[in-house]
Amino acid sequence: QKEVEQDPGPLSVPEGAIVSLNCTYSNSAFQYFMWYRQYSRKGPELLMYTYSSGNKEDGRFTAQVDKSSKYISLFIRDSQPSDSATYLCAMKGSGSARQLTFGSGTQLTVLP
Amino acid sequence: GAVVSQHPSRVICKSGTSVKIECRSLDFQATTMFWYRQFPKQSLMLMATSNEGSKATYEQGVEKDKFLINHASLTLSTLTVTSAHPEDSSFYICSASSGTYGYTFGSGTRLTVV
């Protein structure tokens, strides 16, 4: 079983739709949770970073963490064609370990 | 914000030759750098972790003699693919860390070995 599970999609939605992207994890040591967006043939860029359970909002993006269920989500409101990309969840534990553990990524297409 | 510059963005080389990929943190000191490999439509696979001034730590299954990593300064890390073969063709991405959660990725290098 992978430490982080993410539905690879592909996910296709019409412009303006609300998108929900999810990851589950099995390692209770994970304390920091991130969402990255990766356009084709580019490096990932950080969208959201969260530490505690609950919601964090930034513009059209909301990150949600439920540590009790080991479940994290990213919501995109009013989705735009420019949101079309692969979204990767990533997480890490506390302490000296620094490497991130990534989900497999969800490919999203927002249709105009 | 933090910027990581990765070069080249694309390289084609002949089988048997070596290729060097550079990763520079432009406006911060990167105490740790990570090198990833990504196959089409797959997630990032960590290859190695390097701390400035020390030897890199390679993940299981990654040949350290084939993928040479040098992290000589706080702003520069290099990955050299030695004696490259077609199966080494992939997308390589570096990431620099400067704190608890500050991970900034380079734009990636697409390596094609012919």
- Per residue in B37-63, pLDDT tens? 998 878 899 999 998 888 899 999 999
Residue of A nearest to B97 (CA): A98
In the chain, the amino acid numbered A59 is G
Cis geometry, peptide bond prior to residue A8 (ω within 30 degrees of 0): no
Task: Output the pLDDT for position B31.
Answer: 82
CB contact B107 to A (< 8 Å): yes
- For chain B, the C-alpha Rg in angstroms (whole number) is 13
Sign of CA dihedral A56, A59, A62, A63: negative
Please report the pLDDT score of residue A93 as a whole number.
83
Q: What is the mean pLDDT of residues B15-27?
A: 94
Contact criterion met (CB below 8 Å) for B77 and B70? yes
Whether residue A99 and residue B110 make contact (CB cut-off 8 A), yes or no, is: no
pLDDT of residue B2: 80
- What does the pLDDT read at residue A96? 58
Q: B101, B105, B107, B109: which to substitute to probe chain A, counting the most A Cβ within 10 Å?
A: B101
Q: Answer whether B42 touches A (CB < 8 Å).
A: yes
pLDDT at res. A13: 97
- B6 and A46: CB-CB below 8 Å? no
Instruction: Output the average pLDDT for chain B.
Output: 91
pLDDT tops 60 at residue B91: yes
Paired with A91 in beta bridges are A33, A101
Tens digit of each residue's pLDDT (9 = 90 or more) over B59-87:
999 999 999 999 888 899 999 999 999 99
CB pairs under 8 A between A and B: 52
The answer to whether the peptide bond before residue B8 is cis (omega within 30 degrees of 0) is yes
Chain A interface mutation, best of B43, B57, B93, highest count of A Cβ atoms under 10 Å: B43
Give every residue of chain A whose pLDDT is below 50, as ranges.
none
